[in-house]
Structure 1
Amino acid sequence: MVLLTVIIHGTGIFALARFLRIEAREEAEEHIHPMSLRGVGVTLTLVLGLFVLHGIEIWAYAFVYLVLDALPTLSDAVYFSTITYATTGYDDDGFAEAWRMVAAIEGVNGIILLGWSTAFFVTVVARMGRSR
């Protein structure tokens, strides 16, 4: 799962970076300021893209929990996966004891992927500030 989520995340970050490069080229050609309404829309698209990436990864872990029969329902699995991925803490009552290490690994995996997204986003915003 760690490898799968890293591949998903890397592919998504690559696609978002490509989108941003194309957008920056168009903004330069058309002399559009990055802090314009269009620039704000691009930033919101970036944030939503990152959110979707994390959602895909969270759901992937949720399906693993269902396949492993670690949790009884999809809603329980998605909820558990979300709070584990984000390392916000949780009560693992009802979670199959045999699979708790998978949940711990998801927490570490999630924090790394969230950090990766944060670094990417901060880099993009810093570049926008320099292009004024």
Structure 2
Amino acid sequence: MLFYLAISTMMVFLTVTIHGLGLNLLAHFIRSEEHEERVHHVPKLSRRSLFFTLALVLGLFVLHGLEIWLYAFLFMAVGAIATLETAVYFSTISYAGIGFDDSYIQPAWRLVAGIEGINGLLLLGWSTAFFVTLVTRLGR
């Protein structure tokens, strides 16, 4: 059990680090865009603003996708799940807290999958808070 907790802890540290760096990069992008909008007097409801908001959402989606794929690759590398498609599917439902069925994963690795669910919910919450804060601040 300690081995699986150690693997889970490593994955949590890795995904939280990636998430923090990704949000920092998106925040830099936002600050640059905010400056451009002020300089060029872009209205809040413009095509550019819509594109920017969509780009921000896509950036968050890519960030979560990367973290999901990292868990999927882990499950594949250790032989906990047989195919890449199943690993990505299982990782996605675990990360999002949906958790339909754990029959896809070797029983020894269920603890890691459970912790992935907690990790994913926290990272999704962090992204939601980030997005809501920025959209509110920018008045979009």
TM-score, normalised to structure 1, is 0.96
CA offsets, 1:39-70, max 9 Å, x none? 11000000000000000000000000011111
- 2:125 is equivalent to residue 115 of structure 1: yes
Please identify runs of 4+ aligned residues in structure 1 that moved more than 2 A. Answer: none
- 2:64 is equivalent to residue 54 of structure 1: yes
8 Å CA contact 1:35–1:128 kept in 2: the answer is no
Among 73, 90, 97, the alignment partner of 1:63 is: 73
Structure 2 counterpart of 1:128, one-letter code: L
Over the matched positions of the two proteins, sequence identity in percent amounts to 58
- 2:114 is equivalent to residue 104 of structure 1: yes
TM-score, normalised to structure 2, is 0.90
RMSD: 1.0
- 2:41 is equivalent to residue 23 of structure 1: no
Structure 2 unaligned regions, length at least 5: 1-10
Structure 1 unaligned regions, length at least 5: none
Distance (whole Å) between structure 2 residues aligned to residue 34 and residue 124 of structure 1: 13
8 Å CA contact 2:90–2:104 kept in 1: the answer is no
- 2:102 is equivalent to residue 125 of structure 1: no
**Shift, 1:35, TM fit:** 2.1
| Residue number in structure 2 paired with 1:89 | 99
Aligned residues, how many? 130
